[in-house]
Amino acid sequence: MELQTKVPLQPADHPIDYQGKVLLLGSCFVENMGYKLNYFQFPQYQNPFGVLFQPLALENLVKRALESSFYQQDEVFCQEGIWRCFDAHSEVRSDDQKTLVELFNQRLRLTRQWVESASHIIITLGTAWVYEHIASQKIVANCHKVPQREFTKNLLSVDTIQSSLENLVSLIGSANPKAKLIFTISPVRHLKDGFMENQQGKSHLITALHHIINGRSVSYFPAYEIMMDELRDYRFYAEDMVHPNALAVDYIWEKFKTVWISSEAYPIMDEVESVRKGLQHRPFNPGSEAHEKFRTSLRAKITYLQERYPFMKFE
């Protein structure tokens, strides 16, 4: 008896392996997948400006990085003693204006390096709802809890989203034509926008995204569809009933792995996980001969992995 509807998946032609580099940009679901890639020690870099939910913010980040359009001090603002920028998430902040500007520009340089060298770029779109700062007439990436009266809220049209994504794909393609672009729609529901508004925003993203996928060398991974159709139960949500919980993240990661991780990398992933678990092991008798043998074996495994893959770092 089949108790689930399954989203059909096919292995990718050019999957991720340990010789590649993965850049991840977008909503908080990117961080879920980025955590998994980091856990298994794949070379990866994620969200230099923090979580970015909407396509215009992602286009702005990549465009500024590739054009070396560095930030100036008048592009950040002070809020209750903390300096922030409307182009970034609230986690990217400083108590010093100059330090924050330098941080943004350093991350722009890193972003450019990763765009130009990545083998795979994963971009997750979260919402089509945006906020325009009235005074500057600029669509922001994050409002930073600035009073609502200073913004107008708008739903990006399908055409606007499509144009932005086409620009994004073109920018990346010009800088790194070999990079494999993988788009996803975040399964996180943006209920602060409203229940119907969340569905409306997701539908605009999906429609625009599939317009640009047709006829282009751009891939789509159905994380949103897996969450909605295979995991249609609140036991797969966190306590906020909005974000996927750890079980759901593990489930979607396994699906992603079958599509986008090279099967040749699986044995190495198993070795990495063995080391990870070994490092977390807490012995009953730290001074015993058995534990010393265990530590010697673990050090040998780490040395073996790092000789083959010098980028791997174990604490």
Provide the residue ranges of all domains of the chain, joining segments of one domain with +: 22-261, 263-315
pLDDT over 90 at 144, yes or no: yes
Residues in the chain: 315
pLDDT at residue 29, rounded to an integer: 85
- HEC assignment per residue over the chain: CCCCCCCCCCCCCCCECCCCCEEEEECHHHHHHHHHHHHCCCCEEECCCCCCCCHHHHHHHHHHHHCCCCCCHHHCEEECCEEECCCCCCCCCECCHHHHHHHHHHHHHHHHHHHHHCCEEEEEECCCEEEEECCCCEEECCCCCCCHHHEEEEECCHHHHHHHHHHHHHHHHHHCCCCEEEEEECCCCCHHHCHHHHHHHHHHHHHHHHHHHCCCCEEECCHHHHHHHHCCCHHHECCCCCCECHHHHHHHHHHHHHHHECHHHHHHHHHHHHHHHHHHCCCCCCCCHHHHHHHHHHHHHHHHHHHHCCCCCCC
> Residue 183's beta-bridge partner residues?
123, 220
Could you give the C-alpha distances from 285 to 282, 288, 293, 296, 300, in angstroms and in order?
Answer: 9, 6, 12, 15, 21
Question: For residue 233, which phi and psi values (nearest 5 degrees)?
Answer: -155, 135
pLDDT in tens, 179-236: 999 999 999 988 888 899 999 999 999 999 999 987 567 999 999 999 999 998 999 9
Task: Give the N- to C-terminal CA distance of the chain in Å, as an integer.
Answer: 46
CB within 8 Å of 280: residues ≥ 6 apart? none
Integer Cα distance of 133 and 135 in angstroms: 6
Of 135-149, 153-167, 210-224, minimum mean pLDDT range: 210-224
> Tokens 């400006």, residue?
49
Q: Are strands 120-125 and 82-84 parallel, antiparallel or unpaired?
A: unpaired
Q: Which of 216-225, 241-250, 264-273 has the lowest mean pLDDT?
A: 216-225
pTM for this predicted structure: 0.95
Q: Would you state the pLDDT for residue 280?
A: 87
243: Cβ–Cβ under 8 A, 6 or more apart, which residues?
Answer: 28, 188, 237
Rg over CA atoms, the chain? 21
The pLDDT assigned to 302 comes to 96
Residue 178 pLDDT:
95
Tell the CATH topology of 22-261. Rossmann fold (3.40.50)
Strand 151-155 with 82-84, pairing: unpaired
pLDDT digits (tens, 9 = 90+) for 66-118: 999 999 999 999 999 999 999 999 999 999 999 999 999 999 999 999 999 99
Q: What is the pLDDT of residue 215?
A: 59
Cβ neighbours around 105 below 10 Å, total: 17
Res 124 pLDDT > 70:
yes
State how far the Cα of 63 lies from the Cα of 171, in Å rounded to an integer: 7
Is residue 160 a contact partner of residue 212, using CB atoms and an 8 Å limit?
A: no
What integer pLDDT is reported at residue 176 of this predicted model? Answer: 97
Beta bridge partners of 181: 121, 218
Instruction: Say what percent of the chain tops pLDDT 90.
Output: 87
Residue closest to 28 by CA, chosen among 114, 124, 144: 124
pLDDT at 143 over 90: yes
